[in-house]
C-alpha cells in the first residue's frame, strides 16, 4: 500500500501546482466528457506524484486490523531509529503511534452498538477481516453478493436513454462559469467535508478532495456541467 507524506508544505506545493494548472484549457479540449474526465485524472495524478512524496508499505494478513498503512510506515521508521541508536526520536514516534491506535479503536468501538456478540468480541480483540469477507448479523457478505443485490433492486425496466437525454441542458463548455448548472462553491463545500473513504475506480484519495477542495472545485464543476450539457457520463 502507498502512504503519502501529507505534511503541510507538501499540500501547499500541490495546491499551487493545481492552481497553476490550466483547467480552462482542459475543459475546452473536447465535448466528450469521457475524454475530458480521463485527461483530468491523468493530470491530477501527475501533480500528486510530483508534489507529494510517497512510500510503499506492506500490510501482512497477520497484522491487527488497527495497523493502517500510515501506522505501519511509522513503525518501520521507529524500528530504524532504534537500530541507529536514536532512542529519543524513536520514543516520540512511538507515542504518536499509540495515540493514533487509541483514537482509531475508539472510533471503531463507537459504531458497533448494533453488532452481534461475536462481532463485538472480534472488534475488541482486533481480529482482521483481510480475507475480503464481511459478516452482517452473522451472514457472510462479499462484494459480488452486494453487487448482485443492488443490480437487482436498482434496475429500471422502463429505462429509456432518450428520455434521459431529453433532460439535458445545452450549455457551452466555454461558457460554464456564466451559465453553469453546478457552481464551484457548491462543489467546494462538498469536497471540503468529504469523509475518509475507499477510493473509487479513479483511485484518487479522499484527502485530495478535502485538502485541495478550493483548487479542484472549478474543474470538477466544469466536468459535471459538461456531463449535464451532453447528457453523458464518463465511461470510466
236: confidence class by pLDDT, cuts 50, 70, 90: low
Question: Would you state the pLDDT for residue 37?
Answer: 92
- The mean pLDDT of 142-153, rounded to a whole number, is 69
Question: Would you state the pLDDT for residue 182?
Answer: 83
- The mean pLDDT of 194-216, rounded to a whole number, is 85
177: confidence class by pLDDT, cuts 50, 70, 90: very low
Question: Would you state the pLDDT for residue 130?
Answer: 47
Quick count: other Cβ atoms within 10 Å of Cβ 208? 24
User: Has residue 181 got a pLDDT over 50?
Assistant: yes
Q: What percent of the chain has pLDDT over 70?
A: 72
- Can you read off the three cell numbers belonging to residue 78? 521507529
- The rounded distance, in Å, linking the Cα atoms of 25 and 173 is 10
Pairing relationship of beta strands 54-56 and 139-141 according to DSSP bridges: unpaired
Q: Are the C-beta atoms of 194 and 220 separated by less than 8 Å?
A: no
Q: What is the mean pLDDT of the chain?
A: 78
Q: Are the C-beta atoms of 73 and 55 separated by less than 8 Å?
A: yes
- Can you read off the three cell numbers belonging to residue 83? 537500530
pTM: 0.60
Instruction: Please report the DSSP string for 43-84 in residue order.
Output: HHHHHHHHHS-EEE----TTS-TT--HHHHHHHHHHHHHHHT
- The rounded distance, in Å, linking the Cα atoms of 220 and 37 is 9
Question: Would you state the pLDDT for residue 128?
Answer: 44
Question: Using one digit for the tens of pLDDT, what is the confidence trace for 6-18?
Answer: 889 999 999 999 9
Question: Using one digit for the tens of pLDDT, what is the confidence trace for 60-74?
Answer: 777 776 777 778 888
119: confidence class by pLDDT, cuts 50, 70, 90: low
Quick count: other Cβ atoms within 10 Å of Cβ 126? 14
Q: Are the C-beta atoms of 53 and 5 separated by less than 8 Å?
A: yes
Question: Would you state the pLDDT for residue 28?
Answer: 86
- The mean pLDDT of 39-44, rounded to a whole number, is 92
Angle at 170 (CA atoms; ends 168, 171), nearest 5 degrees: 120
Amino acid at each position: 500500500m502507498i502512504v503519502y507524506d501529507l505534511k503541510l508544505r507538501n499540500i501547499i506545493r500541490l495546491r499551487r501546482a493545481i492552481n497553476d494548472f490550466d483547467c480552462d484549457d482542459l475543459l475546452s479540449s473536447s465535448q466528450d466528457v469521457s475524454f475530458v474526465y480521463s485527461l483530468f485524472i491523468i493530470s491530477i495524478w501527475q501533480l500528486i506524484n510530483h508534489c507529494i512524496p510517497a512510500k510503499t508499505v506492506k500490510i501482512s494478513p497477520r497484522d491487527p486490523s488497527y495497523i493502517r498503512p500510515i501506522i505501519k510506515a511509522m513503525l518501520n521508521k521507529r524500528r530504524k531509529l532504534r537500530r541507529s541508536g536514536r532512542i529519543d526520536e524513536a520514543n516520540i514516534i512511538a507515542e504518536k503511534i499509540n495515540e493514533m491506535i487509541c483514537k482509531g479503536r475508539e472510533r471503531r468501538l463507537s459504531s458497533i452498538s448494533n453488532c452481534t456478540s461475536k462481532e463485538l468480541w472480534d472488534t475488541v480483540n482486533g481480529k482482521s477481516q483481510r480475507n475480503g469477507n464481511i459478516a452482517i448479523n452473522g451472514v457472510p457478505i462479499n462484494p459480488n453478493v452486494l453487487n448482485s443485490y443492488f443490480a437487482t433492486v436498482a434496475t429500471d425496466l422502463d429505462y429509456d436513454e432518450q428520455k434521459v437525454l431529453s433532460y439535458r441542458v445545452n450549455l457551452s463548455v466555454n461558457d460554464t462559469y456564466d451559465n453553469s448548472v453546478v457552481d464551484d462553491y457548491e462543489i467546494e463545500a462538498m469536497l471540503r467535508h468529504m469523509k475518509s473513504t475507499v477510493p473509487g475506480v479513479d483511485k484518487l484519495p479522499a484527502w485530495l478532495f478535502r485538502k485541495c477542495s478550493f483548487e479542484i472545485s472549478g474543474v470538477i464543476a466544469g466536468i459535471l456541467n459538461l456531463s449535464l450539457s451532453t447528457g453523458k457520463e464518463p465511461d470510466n
